[in-house]
A and B are shown apart, each in its own frame.
Chain A
Amino acid sequence: MNSDYRMSVVVRTITRLTYGLIIVFGFYVIMHGHLTPGGGFQGGAVVSSAFALLLVAFGSAGLKGRVNRHWFQTLEEVGAIFFLALGLFGIGTAFFFNLFANNPGVPFGQSVPFGPNSGAVSTAGTLPWMNWAVGLKVLTGLTSVVIAMLIGGRKEERE
C-alpha cells in the first residue's frame, strides 16, 4: 500500500462526515465509564479507530494536518504519568486508595444509593479521572502505533 493511496470518493466523503462523530462518541464512552459499559480503554480505542479510518480513506495525507506524531507520543507519556499520579495521590493510606469517592467537597465525589438508579455523572471518586487518563493514553498510543507502522511500511518501499 503506497502512502498516497486514496479510497474512492464515496468512502472519502463519508469519512469526512463521520470521523468527527466517532471521536465525539469515543469521548462519550470514556466519560461515562463508571456509569455505562465502557471506560478508558474502550473509549480510547473508538477514538483511535476514527484516526485509523482517516488514514485508510485518505492515505497518509489524512492525518497530515490533524495529528502531530511527536505530540501524540508526549501526550501518551503525560496520560501514563497522570494515571500513576492518581494512584499515588492516596499514598497516605495506601497506593491506589480512592480518596475522592464519597466525600462531597471534591468533584466526582457524590455517593450513590444502593440499587438501580439513573446514574449521576459526578460520582465514583478517582474513577472518572482514571478513565480520562487511560482514554488519553490509549487514544494517543494506538494512533502512534498505526502511524509508526505506516511510516515503517513506507520506508520499506524506498529501500
Chain B
Amino acid sequence: MTALVPHVPALLIAVPLLGAFLAPIVGKLGRTTRNGFVALVLLVTAALAALLAVRFLGSNGSPILYVMGGPDGFAVPLPSGMATPIRIMFEIDAMNVFMVLITALVTLCAGLFSFRYLRDRSGGDLFYALFLLLTTAILGLEVTGDLFNFFVFLEITSIAACGLIGFQAWQKRAPEAAYKVMTMYTLAGIFVLLAIGLLYAEHGGLNMAYLASAIRGSVVDQVALTFLFVGLGMKAAAVPLHMWAPDAYGEAPAPVSAVLVVNSQASLYGLFRVMFTIYGGVANAVLLGWLIVALALVTIFVGVTVALLQNDLKRLIAYGALSQIGYMLLGVGVALVTIPTKPDFGFVALQGGIFHMINDAACIGLLFLTAGAAIRAAGTRDLNRMGGLAHTMRLTSVLFIVGALALAGIPPFNGFASKFLIYEGSFQLNPFLAVVAVLSSILLLAVFLKAFQAVFLGPRPEGASVGGEAPLGMLVPMVVLAAVVIGFGLFPGFFVERIVTPAARALWYGRDAYIHAVLGGF
C-alpha cells in the first residue's frame, strides 16, 4: 500500500469518483449495503485528505506536483527544451490542502447525516451517486493546477448540485429553484469558459502556473480577468449575483445545503487563486482590493438585513451563509489593500478571511443539519407554525445554539477567532469597515436568536405533529461538527499556526514558488 502514497492526489479524486459510479450498482444489493459502501468511500476520501495534509506539511512548503499520465515518473512537467507544460497536473500548496480539509470534513458529516435523514425517500442510489459526484468535483476544483480542468470540475459541481436541489421533485418549489440555479450556473460557466478561451488564444497554454508567468496585462488579459471575476463571483454567491443562493440552500435537502456552502467556498478559492496567483504580477492590488471590500460590505449588509425578514428557517440560514461569504471577502479585500503599506495588519486580515472559511463551513453546516432535523420533526419550515421543539429535541436545540453563537462570532466559539482577526485587520484600514462588520454580527445574532425562539422555545402549537429527538444516526455528525466548532474556538492558535498561516502565506507570498515548481528555471 505504501507504494501508492506518492499517488495520493490522484487517488483523492479517483476513489470518490469510483464510489459515485459504483453507488447505483451496489444499491441493487440493498439499502444498508449501499449506505455502508458510501460511508466507506467518504471515510477513505477523508483519510486520503488527511494523508495529503500530513504529507504536505512535511515537505517544507514547496507545492506538490502531480502530472497526469507523465511518462517518466510524475515529476517532469516540461518536455525537453519547452517553456509550456503539456499535460494536466495537480499543484497542491498549503492553500489547496486547507480547502481539501474543509471539504473532507463537511462532506463526511453531511454524508453520514443523510443516511438517516433520507431513509424513507425514493431514489436513494441516484442521490448518493450525485452526492459523491459533487464531493469529487469540489475536491477536484480545489486540487487541480490546470485552468480548463478547473472549468470542467466547476461544471460537474453545477450539474450535480442542480440534480440534488431538484431531488424533492414533488414539491412545488424544488424544480423551479433547480431550474433557476441551473440557469445561473450555466451563465457563470460560460463566463469562465470565455475567459479560458481568451487566455488560451493570447498565451497558447492552459496551465495556471504557465499563465501566471505569461500574463502581461494586455487588453485581452483584463477582459479575461473581468469574466473570471464575474463567473466565479456568481458561483461564490457574492451579492450582485447572489439571487440563486437562498433558493438553492433553501430548497435542497439539509445535508446537500451544507455541501453547497462548501461548493461556494471552493469557487471563492478559485477566485483567490485567479487574483493572487494568475494575475498576481499584473493586477494593481489597491484598486482590486477596494472593489472587493465594497463587494464584501454589500454582501454582509444584504445578507443580514434580508435574513431578518425571512420566516422560512432554511432561507434564513441561507442568508446567514451569504453574509459570511462577505466576511471572507472583507478579510481578503482588506489584505489586498493594506499589505503593500502595512504588511503585518494586512496579513492578519488575510489569515482572518481564510480562517473564517473553515469556521463558516463548520457552523453553517451544523446549522443546516440541525435545521434539517428540526424541520423533519416539526413537519414544516415556516417559523410561525413551528415551536416548542426544545421539550423533546434537547440536544438538537443545544447544537443549534452552538452553531448560531459561533456564526455570530461570540467568544468561546470558532466564529469569534476568525472574525476578531478580520475586525483587527479592517480596523487598521478604516474604522468604518470594522464598525459595519461588528454591527452586522450583532444583527445576525439577533436574527438567529429570533429563529431559535420561534423554533425551539415557546408553547407547542396545537396542530403540530409530535416530533421526537433526532435519531442517533443524525445526531453523531452534528456532534462532530459541534466539536470542530468548539475545538477551533477554544484553541484557535493551534489551528491557525498549523494550517491557516501556511495557507495565507502560500496564497500571498507563494506565487513565485507556485510558478517555479512547474516552470523550473524559466
Contact = CB atoms under 8 A, between A and B. Distances in A.
B255 to A, nearest CB: 23
Interface string A4-20: 00000000000000000
B17 A94 contact: no
Contacts of A91: 4, 7, 10
A80 interface: yes
Interface string A62-105: 00000000000110010011001001101111111110000000
Interface string B71-100: 111100000000000000000000000000
Interface size class of B (residues with CB under 8 A): 20 to 34
Interface string B1-45: 001100100100010011001101100000000000000000000
14 contacts: A73-B24, A74-B24, A77-B25, A84-B14, A84-B18, A92-B3, A93-B70, A93-B71, A94-B73, A95-B66, A95-B68, A95-B69, A96-B69, A97-B71
A93 B74 contact: yes
The 9 tightest CB contacts between A and B, nearest first, are: A95-B10, A96-B69, A94-B74, A80-B21, A94-B70, A96-B68, A81-B21, A97-B69, A77-B21
Interface residues of A, number: 17
Interface of B: 3-4, 7, 10, 14, 17-18, 21-22, 24-25, 66-74
The secondary-structure label for the interface of chain A is helix
B25 to A, nearest CB: 6
B69 A98 contact: yes
A84 B10 contact: no
B434 to A, nearest CB: 47
B10 A90 contact: no
Interface of A: 73-74, 77, 80-81, 84, 87-88, 90-98
A90 B24 CA distance: 26
Contact of A94 (B22, B24, B67): B67
A155 to B, nearest CB: 11
Contacts of B4: 91
Contacts of B21: 77, 80-81, 84
B274 to A, nearest CB: 25
Nearest to B72: A93
B365 to A, nearest CB: 29
A92 to B, nearest CB: 8
Given A84-B18, A87-B14, A88-B14, A94 B25 contact: no
Nearest to A126: B69
Contacts of B74: 93-94
Contacts of A87: 14
Given A81-B22, A84-B17, A94-B73, 11 more contacts: A74-B25, A84-B21, A88-B14, A93-B70, A93-B74, A94-B68, A94-B69, A94-B70, A95-B7, A95-B14, A97-B71
A24 B72 CA distance: 39
Nearest to A88: B14
A34 to B, nearest CB: 16
Contacts of A84: 14, 17-18, 21
